Chain A
Amino acid sequence: MTRKQKKTLIRIIISAVLFASALALKLTGVLNEWICAALFVVSYLTVGYDILIKAVKGIVKGQLVDENFLMAVASAGAMALRDFAEAAAVMLFYQIGELFQSVAVGKSRRSIAALIDIRPDVANLVTGDGVTEVDPAEVEIGSSILVNPGERIPLDGVITDGSTTIDTCAVTGESVPRDGAPGDEVYSGCVNLTGAIRVRTTKGFGESTASRILELVEESGMRKSRSEALITRFARIYTPVVCILALLLASFPPIFLKLTGGDPALGTYLKRALTFLVISCPCALVISVPLTFFGGVGCASRNGILIKGSNFFEALAETKYFVFDKTGTLTEGRFRVTETEPFGGFDPADVLSLAARAEFGTRHPVGIGIREAAGVPKDDPSVSDLTEKPGFGVTATVDGMRVSVGNPKLMKAEGIEVPERGRAGETNVWVSVDGALAARIALADAVKDRAAEAIGKLRSSGVEKTYMLTGDRRETAEKVAADAGIDRVKSDLLPSDKLEEFERIKETNGSKGKYAYVGDGINDAPVLALADVGIAMGAMGTDAAIEAADVVLMDDDVMKLPLALRIARRTLAISKENIAIALLVKLVCLVLGALGFAGMWLAIFADVGVMVLAVLNSTRSMRIKG
């Protein structure tokens, strides 16, 4: 509890004791009625003096209708009716409710904040004089920092020393730890698990991954969803309307009764009208929606999904058409060896190993794919005379043999004609040893393991059509689409064509349902921006993608897509529940109050109760599971 809350609590306790003793004295009839009344008034003033002051200030400033004013009028009205106990009770319960609200909101605010708090507090700066603990914000780019096992990595950088395992869960939601060795990039917010590492920082604190993620999450509530805007607008008219109704309730029935010759029962109707005033505070309505969305944002970000605004929950929940980029989104973006066909009596494993060793220095994705398949060490002393010819391939001397690895053009340069071979979706690499054809190695950019499952899940949750846009040849594209279960393919696109193609997809399907585009955010930023929901994948460490997208998946796990959709829908459902609960309870209380079944006490309980209920219900959105 904050100091302010504690102060309120003390006032409430004092007031409650006074109230209870006054009530006891009154019921037992020990003291004179007026002394009891005075006690009630003291209790009332103790707990409510600030409300009264604020109400007066509001009137002076011309701000008539606010909670303070309403409470002041309601309790003053009760006193005018000589019901001092009621006046004190109303004020007492109102303050208890306010305190409850402020504690509950503060608590859920803190628990959500804790959920997403991945910002590190200290960095171990390595200088000439040793290691000093400093504020990460003070560490300059290019400094060397030490990260011990169990510590959170404070700043983005590159490992210079030591190897370890890194838990990226807080950033990506991925539970399998990654290995880190010198040369690997590390991101702030991740936890260093096994070994001490030294990191050369590449970014300042404000630009580091952890800060950027937190910033996005904190700002997400500022883009308001439709339902949020709607409820705010509703709240704005709700209070005046209820006040007018209260006025009508206090005037019409007595006039009517008077005209029909009965007892006008002024006191009864005034009291009912005052009950209306108590119910007219719109706080439960106003809090229920943003709190739910904030919980949803927190839940998503813990799963490595950053949703940049409450409005995207709605857009995501209504998405009927998913358009995918191919490379790196549906496929792994890495080449893997799918087949090795030997010629001239070579053993497939041997020739693959030879090719891999010849490729040991290359950064070409195909070369990397061959190296990974053969599992050769990074450094090999038996390899010499290495030449890489861009657009052709590599040639090197391995174990005294002349090995060339490359495309048919390279083979032709060696005087070798390659046979017609190959399947759709594959890239062929040819290997020659001492001038004779030795093997064909086929590689493919494999479809992600769970791509088909993810797309199946999207479809079963109501997505109508899926598209894939790619610059690849048709056969390759169609193979990938078939493997992933994509409905339509647009192939042979230049990066600049993607935008046009996306527009065309929108035109053919009409404006019912929203369109999401899923890409890596590097060369498709315009499409990401145009889509109703632009989703960037594998975005950890790429600022451009985080900037351009509406929803950011920190790692490249496709299963996060159906999860994001689920979180969006659940969050939306919970927020609707909250609106319904709050409206319903208020309505019931208004009706009961008008008919005289509910007094001010009940009205206060209803008001506070529904508010607490809404707060509790909205925290459910923090715990949505996949």
Chain B
Amino acid sequence: MTKIYNVEVDCPNCAVKMEDAVKGTPGVADAALNFMTLRLKVDFEEDADPKKVMKDALKRVRKVDSDCDIIL
């Protein structure tokens, strides 16, 4: 399953780190962040619950940079 989220992030390097953080979240098969359009595309693993996974992902993202946000 693939979902697209809007994100807020200031600098391109933070965006890269943010993408890594989402990628590393359990239940996420792959993630891609487009800094230009501020869109985050997340491929979930088959049996993952997107809502729960994204909550985790947001926590991880905040850890990387407190200014980042995923609009859930």
Contact = CB atoms under 8 A, between A and B. Distances in A.
Q: Bin the interface of chain B by size.
A: 20 to 34
Nearest to B64: A63
B35 A221 contact: yes
A123 interface: no
Contacts of A290: 12, 34-36
Contacts of A539: none
B12 A287 contact: yes
Interface in B44-72: 63-67
A203 interface: no
Nearest to A286: B12
Prevailing SS type, chain A contact patch: helix
B23 interface: no
Contacts of B1: none
B20 to A, nearest CB: 9
A61 to B, nearest CB: 5
Contacts of B12: 105, 283, 286-287, 290
B10 A286 contact: no
Interface hub of B13, B39, B67 (most chain A Cβ within 10 A): B13
A282 interface: yes
A224 interface: yes
Contact of B11 (A63, A101, A224): A101
Contacts of B35: 221, 287, 290-291
A222 B32 contact: yes
A101 B10 CA distance: 9
A109 B39 contact: no
Interface string A273-295: 00000000111001100110010
Interface in B1-30: 4, 10-13, 15-17
Given A63-B63, A235-B16, A286-B16, A218 B11 contact: no
Contact of A283 (B4, B11, B67): B11
Given A102-B10, A221-B35, A287-B12, A66 B65 contact: yes
B34 A291 contact: no
A555 interface: no
Q: Bin the interface of chain A by size.
A: 20 to 34
B66 A219 contact: no
A102 to B, nearest CB: 6
A107 interface: no
A292 B4 CA distance: 23
Interface hub of A101, A221, A222, A287 (most chain B Cβ within 10 A): A222
A449 interface: no
A67 B11 contact: yes
A61 B16 CA distance: 18
A407 interface: no
Given A54-B66, A63-B63, A66-B65, A291 B36 contact: yes
A235 B16 CA distance: 9
Given A67-B11, A102-B10, A219 B16 contact: no
A286 B13 contact: yes
A294 B36 contact: yes
A101 B13 CA distance: 12
B30 to A, nearest CB: 10
Contacts of B34: 218-219, 221-222, 290, 294
A6 interface: no
B12 to A, nearest CB: 4
Interface of B: 4, 10-13, 15-17, 32-39, 41, 63-67
Which 4 pairs from chain A and chain B are nearest by CB? Answer: A222-B32, A221-B34, A287-B12, A294-B36
10 contacts: A54-B66, A67-B11, A98-B10, A219-B4, A221-B34, A224-B32, A282-B13, A283-B13, A287-B12, A291-B36
